[in-house]
Amino acid sequence: SGSKSSGYFNANNNSTSNVTTSAGALVGGAITAGTSLTIKGVSASNWGLQNSSAYTLTATNGDISLVGVGLNGTYQMGSLIASAGSIGISSVSTSSVWSYYAQSGSQVNYIALNDINIASYAVTYSSAINLTNILIRTTNGDIVLSARGGVTSNGSVSQVLYMAGVAVKAGRNFTIQGSSLSSGIAVAAASTAVSTTGGFIAVDVRTSASWAYGGVTSTGYKATGDISIAGTSNSSYGIYADSVIESTASSVTMTGDSNQVVKDLKSSNGTSTIGITGSNNILYAQQIDSAGANGHTLVQNIFGDYNSITTQQQGSNDTNVNISTTGSHNTITVRSSSSTIATPLTAVAR
């Protein structure tokens, strides 16, 4: 009885008597929607949205939208398929250890024609996004991961955004950035960094994987367009990356320390732009294949100390190299060769 409220519960109103003490929304089987698929759940004392049995969610001709707000946010172990649309996920953990938890033991697929957006906000504990053994792929759209972590370690995976055994293939841009709360829901916060004040790694990009779906194999962290990664921590790495991060036709921009970037330029007479703000980074930039005979332009702007920069140009005509560094103890190697980069010089703190 009485007036009905529209929308769904969120972090601002989940203490009301209408909220269950179990999972807000529990996925009990595979779901296929003819157009779009939307699942929203909230719980005051459990997972907001729980798909712990790895059921596949499919939107045949539309978008997938998932919202989980709870003590823990979203427990998402299944594949998400939106072959004609986009995937949007918002997750908030109000006071427990996991916000968006997708630590799968076997391959899981996030496939979309257009964009894939995951925004997660951990109010108290450090872990906002945990992705393991997942293929994240778009045909035409961006892939955007937005995260913010709390001050308390969850004791298991303390990194704010953690990826291991993941393959990313963005049809356009790939962005890792910060998140914020809007009316109790996690939203992307453009032009901000993944952050934590608890002294943990903000962005941890571990060993990538090679996953196949629909006859196409994707390997590493790659985008056709720009790649932008921003992370900040008060007393640890802003970004820790030990995998190949590659933009195949555009620029890579990273803000943080201890990153490794591999950039291959294959377009004829193209331009490769790389910007790094931070220290102890390793950068390999190559111009490869027959298109390089027509030359290209390489622009690198580096701000920080103890960075190792190696660039190799295989083209014979009109190749321009423009490297700018601001900082100390940086090592730069420029060479022309038809072989792949091997054993480059490394800047070592001394």
- Average pLDDT (38-61) is 95
Q: Quick check: 205 and 243 in contact, CB under 8 A?
A: yes
pLDDT digits 0-9 by tens, 278-334: 888 788 777 766 655 666 778 888 888 888 888 877 766 667 888 888 988 888 888
- For residue 259, the model assigns a pLDDT of 67
Q: Residue 203: name the closest of 228, 172, 181 by CA.
A: 228
Mean of all residue pLDDT scores within the chain: 85
The residue among 182 and 310 whose pLDDT is bigger is 182
pLDDT digits 0-9 by tens, 215-269: 999 998 999 999 999 998 888 888 887 777 888 767 788 887 766 676 766 666 6
- For residue 237, the model assigns a pLDDT of 81
- For residue 338, the model assigns a pLDDT of 64
Paired strand residues for 234:
none
Query: Which residue bears the tokens 């890579």?
Result: 252
Question: 112-136: string of b/e by CB count within 10 Å (b at 16+)?
Answer: bbbbbbbbbbbbbbbbbbbbbbbbb
Query: Does the structure show a pLDDT above 50 at 14?
Result: no
Half-sphere exposure of 217 (CA within 13 A, CB side): 4
The residue among 229 and 4 whose pLDDT is bigger is 229
The residue among 262 and 111 whose pLDDT is bigger is 111
pLDDT digits 0-9 by tens, 128-154: 999 999 999 999 999 999 999 999 998
Query: Does the structure show a pLDDT above 90 at 47?
Result: yes
φ, ψ of residue 102 in degrees (nearest 5): -140, 55
